[in-house]
């Protein structure tokens, strides 16, 4: 059986009918919120998340050094008793 253009159109029309009523692009566009490019993803940008993770790592390292000094001082005080 050969697939003719009329058969192909018929198949496409059947498949489109399965979708039901489709909205027009104009209706859909009127419902969409418009954002300027500078507002797009402002709080969720990957760059800001990466910078935040780097800052947290620096803070973590600082706190670890401070904790090590406290533990060492505590050990010296206990050993001197």
* Residue labelled with tokens 């797009």: 40
Q: Is residue 51 part of a domain?
A: yes
Rounded to two decimals, what is the model's pTM? 0.44
Q: Which two tokens stand for residue 53?
A: 């993770």
Token digits of residue 66 = 């401070």
In a domain, 76, yes or no: yes
In a domain, 52, yes or no: yes
**54 assigned to some structural domain:** yes
Residue-level pLDDT, tens digit, the chain, 81 residues:
788 989 889 988 888 888 777 667 777 777 777 766 666 665 567 888 889 999 999 999 999 999 999 999 999 999 998
User: How many domains, the chain?
Assistant: 1
Using CA atoms in the order 35, 40, 42, 47, what is the torsion angle rounded to 10 degrees?
Answer: -170
Residue 79 lies in a domain: yes
Residue 22 lies in a domain: no
Task: Note down the domain range covering 52.
Answer: 43-81
């Amino acid at each position: 059986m050969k697939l003719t253009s009329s058969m192909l159109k018929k198949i496409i029309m059947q498949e489109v009918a399965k979708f039901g009523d489709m909205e027009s692009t104009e209706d859909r566009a009127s419902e969409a919120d418009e954002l300027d490019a500078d507002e797009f993803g402002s709080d969720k940008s990957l760059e800001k998340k990466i910078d935040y993770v780097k800052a947290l790592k620096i803070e973590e390292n600082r706190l670890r050094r401070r904790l090590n000094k406290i533990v060492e001082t505590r050990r010296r005080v206990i050993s001197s008793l």
